[in-house]
Amino acid sequence: MVNVHLLVTKRIAIEEIAEWLLKENLAVSVEIDWSREHFILQNDELFKETVHKISFITKASKFSLIEQHIQSEFGDDLKELYSEPVIYHNWNAMKDIGM
């Protein structure tokens, strides 16, 4: 299992991604953090933009499918996409995604 994090610039994209993940049983629940500040350094100049963050737990084997879909549908709005391994979790909650 992995905890996936996405940073996206458009609010509507976050809502569409959350709905897709849940309807496709790729996540049991989705957490959204609205309006986070995202800083990057580019050519020695600091840039700040507002992004929205979505986080969810899914099977590691589904990460490529999720990444491909999000890149194809929301690539222009996607700022970051990464995952972290889940070491411990209440696994009973994960039965809905085929654990």
User: What are the DSSP E strand ranges found in 2-65?
Assistant: 2-8, 31-42, 45-58
Q: How confident is the model over 71-80, as pLDDT tens digits?
A: 999 988 999 9
CATH architecture of the domain covering 2-97: 2-Layer Sandwich (3.30)
Q: How confident is the model over 7-63, as pLDDT tens digits?
A: 999 999 999 999 999 999 999 889 999 999 989 898 999 999 999 999 999 999 999
The C-alpha atoms of residue 6 and residue 11 are separated, in whole angstroms, by 12
The C-alpha atoms of residue 97 and residue 22 are separated, in whole angstroms, by 10
Which of helix, strand or coil describes residue 77?
Answer: coil
The enclosing H or E element of 88 equals: none
Q: Where are the domains of the chain?
A: 2-97
| Residue type present at position 95 | K
